[in-house]
Amino acid sequence: MGIRNILLSTLGAVLAAGAVALSGSAAQAQADKVFVMKLSTATINDTQHEWLKRFAAMVEKDSNGRIKPEIYPASQLGSIPRQIEGTQFGSIQAWMGPPEFLVGVDERFEAMTAPGLFTDHDQVMRVMSNPDTKKMVYGLGAAKGLQGFGFATMSPSSILTKKPTKQLSELKGQKIRVLASPFQLELIRRMDASPIAMTLADVLPGLQQGTIDGTLTSLIIYTTMHYYDTAKNVIETEQPFVNSIAMVSKRWLDTLPADLQKVVFDDGEKVTKDFNPFVKEFWAAQNKVWKDKGGETIKLPKAEHDAMIAKISTIGDDMSKSKPGLNQTVKALFEAKAKAN
């Protein structure tokens, strides 16, 4: 029995040592593993692209090369819906774009585009700096595999028209392109114009052929896509305000060790916190490009602008009454804005 016990004890020690060695090897392998992080967006050489470039440089440095970022701008990885799906499934590790493109993931994302909610870059960031608001917005897609980790303002919207339009009343009867969004459709209706839902690719041909009289979007689109060759009149409605959110694949995130997960979120927060000055500089530069190309911008008188805001600020609530989750999110954001002002 003595010899048998000695043998069993020795065998146990050997097995234990082996287990420790294997555990150590696995931990070392995890520490040495390089995780590719594909970062996708639909645009190029703009604020979204710049945000991703700053994040990529930071996350590679702070992870000591254990995260290898690869940036794919200009929809290189497919259309926006395909990019979002890829991020949900983990074949793309992160996507950045306006929240309204995530409505198919969760309808509550549309709350971020409610007319009258935001009016300028600094206001947006004051609201999004609130920890509770940030947690709510970043978590809207969590049940569908997407987690927010960064944010940036983009620009106010405006209405571009082919014929000179100096005031909102002159929009009456004009056919204005919008996204297929209930909020945007109602926004144009409340301006007594006729909304026409249309993809971005169809806008310029639509303007050239007379299918539409104008379009609701950002001046950045007018400059980068050379709309100034077809139409030169812009009314600065500033509604809705366009922003970008960075979403990481939860499926991919779960494969990272805890320290690298922290790096992703910490670096997303760092880029977000310091990014607004660049956005405002970029916006000012695009305004200059527009004017240099012969474009005209009409700034509404304060009384007319205030009356418009009052008229459209109920759209989010009015159009979401049959959707409790969306309605609750709309109200929460308006309340957060009121506290931040």
Output 297 or 30, whichever has higher pLDDT.
Answer: 297
The amino acid occupying position 104 is G
- Residue 2: pLDDT band (50, 70, 90) is low
pLDDT at 313 over 50: yes
User: Hey, what domains does the chain have and what are their CATH numbers?
Assistant: 33-340 (3.40.190.170)
Q: Where are the beta strands (DSSP E) in the chain?
A: 35-41, 67-72, 94-97, 146-161, 175-178, 194-197, 214-218, 233-236, 241-249, 296-299
Burial track 113-152 (b if 16+ CB lie within 10 A, e otherwise): bbbbbbbebebbbbbbeeeebbebbbebbeeebbbbbbbb
Predicted TM-score of the model (pTM): 0.88
| CA-to-CA separations, 309 to 118, 197, 239, 314, 315, in angstroms, rounded | 10, 22, 9, 9, 10
Q: Which residues pair with 234 in a beta bridge?
A: 160, 297
Output 16 or 239, whichever has higher pLDDT.
Answer: 239
Spell out the residues 6+ positions from residue 277 whose beta carbon is closer than 8 angstroms to its own: none
> Which structure tokens are listed for 142?
């969590």
pLDDT tens digits along 46-72? 999 999 999 999 999 999 999 999 999
The amino acid occupying position 88 is Q
> Which structure tokens are listed for 111?
């709350």
| pLDDT for residue 53 | 99
Rg (CA), the chain: 25
Q: Give the residue-averaged pLDDT of 224-236.
A: 94
Burial class (CB in 10 A: 0-12, 13-18, 19+), 75: middle
| pLDDT for residue 230 | 96
Which residue, 308, 315, 317, 163, is CA-closest to 238? 308
Q: Which residues pair with 196 in a beta bridge?
A: 177
Spell out the residues 6+ positions from residue 324 whose beta carbon is closer than 8 angstroms to its own: none
pLDDT tens digits along 252-289? 999 999 999 999 999 999 999 999 999 999 999 999 99
The amino acid occupying position 32 is D
Ranges 5-14, 144-153, 190-199: which has the least confidence: 5-14
| pLDDT for residue 308 | 97
| pLDDT for residue 283 | 95
pLDDT at 22 over 50: no
| pLDDT for residue 6 | 59
